[in-house]
Amino acid sequence: MQGEVHGIAALPSCTSVLEVPVTARLQQSASFGEPRAAALSSFSCLSVCGGDLLAKAQCEGVCESLNFGRATSRLRCPMAMIATEAVAEAPFSLEERQSQGLVLDMAHQMGGFPFIAPETSVPVSITDDRTDAASSMLVVVGHRGCGKNRILPQGGIPEARSSIRENTITSFNLAARNGAQFVEFDVQVTKDGVPIIFHDDVIITDEGLPGRHIGDLTLEEFRAIGPQSDASKVGQVLYRKAADGTIGLWTEDVEDPMCTLKEAFTEVQPSVGFNIEVKFDDDGNTSEEELHRVIDAVLEDVRQFANGRMIYFSSFHPDAVQIIRKKMSKYPVFFLTDGGSHMYTDPRRNSIEAAIEVCREGNLQGIVSEVKAVLQHPASVALVKAEGLFLFTYGELNNVGEAVLKQQNWGIDGVIVDHVLEMVRVARHMEEPASPSSASLARRSVSVV
């Protein structure tokens, strides 16, 4: 068969109808919200034939075969999301996927976001006859999974919601279950060359000491810190700096061991994409040798373990994003910027205009800006779009529904959020009130220090 649809592209080599089972988990996902509202109570399978997306469905108790159209006509975004998720979850081996000539594409979710599955070098073109930016599907990205952790200064009032240790398998999987299309996390590389997931510039295990850089620790030393997967072991106590500069004990309501990038690839459900932020010290003094050491280790794990997962890279380091782009061109690369909210010695980091220039020089695909810079200067959205770049945002205000809706109306492509479930509901214009994240569903058996 030949032709393309949102979510699945059928290459000329694929000559038979591929039936994809729809899992029970998928039936409960946010993607099914709109079809359910249209009285489509269940889907048993999806298929692609002659460029059309077909589904077997129960509609008011009657089994029907539904045709959701060709690539030249706009498919409803929720149906396209279902198609991509279903194929991602289907029990096909890599060889079967290649022989069928299937390419998964995320353009329906990201207004044309250029995702290409690593099994193939064939790009997918998506035709979209909608021009209203506000009507495009806003991508919701879970910040460090289900949100970053905060160490409260003296007198600080904790949030009512349960806290889940950031940048862990539990947090990533819960974010996915709550509807995030991607999870964002920070990757650093240990002294012995292993990519691990941890945000801060230093890791603090003694209240009276300044902490150590990840690059100065071996994987074994990193593993010995914080919550342990082996209940018979007790990890070193973990501390973190609060906003007022004081050092406090770092514990969360739901604990989980810190993890490696390889473990994230193998243990996080495959339907959720990864925003891999390659992390370097904020002072900007990383040597070129260290940039290459870290990037090479990260890209090697991606080559070995990505297994078809949706991926895009980002970094605050302007040289790092260009190196990543040169070394691995199949995945999108975004440049992170504060947009002028903070000033740095490197002028490339001090404005959205400077970020645009970094993207030009490095042939990058997009910018991730602190949301305050965009809300204070709405004209910057048009500047970024005029360059053919994607624009995502991050920051505290992305946990406010009104701010997310404003960005969606302006045509921003994605938001990185801490409050995943609530902001997914806002972005999908769901009317039912948000319910608290059920951290207990994602709890793993761990030893809590």
Q: Which residues contact 9 (CB under 8 A, 6 or more apart)?
A: 102, 103, 105, 124
Rg for the chain (alpha carbons), in Å?
22
Confidence at residue 99, expressed as pLDDT on a 0 to 100 scale:
40
CATH of domain 140-442: 3.20.20.190
0.75 exceeded by pTM: no
Element (H, E) at 271: none
User: With contact defined as beta carbons under 8 Å apart, do 341 and 373 qualify?
Assistant: yes
Instruction: Report the alpha-carbon distance of residue 353 to residue 366 in Å, rounded.
Output: 12
Confidence at residue 444, expressed as pLDDT on a 0 to 100 scale:
39
Instruction: Report the alpha-carbon distance of residue 368 to residue 353 in Å, rounded.
Output: 12
pLDDT in tens, 268-318: 999 999 999 999 988 878 999 999 999 999 999 999 999 989 999 999 999
- Domain ranges (residues) in the chain: 3-105, 140-442
User: With contact defined as beta carbons under 8 Å apart, do 231 and 445 qualify?
Assistant: yes
CB hemisphere CA count around 412 (13 angstroms): 28
Confidence at residue 222, expressed as pLDDT on a 0 to 100 scale:
97
Instruction: Report the alpha-carbon distance of residue 379 to residue 439 in Å, rounded.
Output: 39
* CA proximity to 75, closest of 103, 113, 43, 34: 34
Residue-by-residue DSSP string for 71-93:
TTSPPPHHHHHHHHHHHHHS---
- Adjacency order of strands within the sheet including 52-59: 18-21, 40-49, 52-59, 62-67
Eight-class DSSP state of 138:
P
- What are the φ and ψ backbone dihedral angles of 101, each rounded to 5 degrees? 70, 35
User: With contact defined as beta carbons under 8 Å apart, do 34 and 60 qualify?
Assistant: no
**Within the chain, which residues score under 70 in pLDDT?**
1-136, 155, 430-449
Confidence at residue 446, expressed as pLDDT on a 0 to 100 scale:
36
Find how far residue 386's CA is from the centre of its chain.
25
Residue 239, SS3?
A: strand
User: With contact defined as beta carbons under 8 Å apart, do 261 and 195 qualify?
Assistant: yes
Tokens of 104: 């998964």
Confidence at residue 10, expressed as pLDDT on a 0 to 100 scale:
31
How would you classify the pairing of strands 182-189 and 195-197? antiparallel
The letter for the amino acid at 147 is G
Length of the chain counted residue by residue: 449
The letter for the amino acid at 38 is A
Instruction: Report the alpha-carbon distance of residue 337 to residue 277 in Å, rounded.
Output: 12
Burial 242-266 (b: 16+ CB within 10 A, else e): eeeeebbebbbebbbbbbbbebbbe
Instruction: Report the alpha-carbon distance of residue 3 to residue 48 in Å, rounded.
Output: 9
Q: Which residues on adjacent β-strands are paired with residue 335?
A: 315, 367
Mean pLDDT, the chain, as a whole number? 76
Tokens of 333: 């690369």
Confidence at residue 255, expressed as pLDDT on a 0 to 100 scale:
92
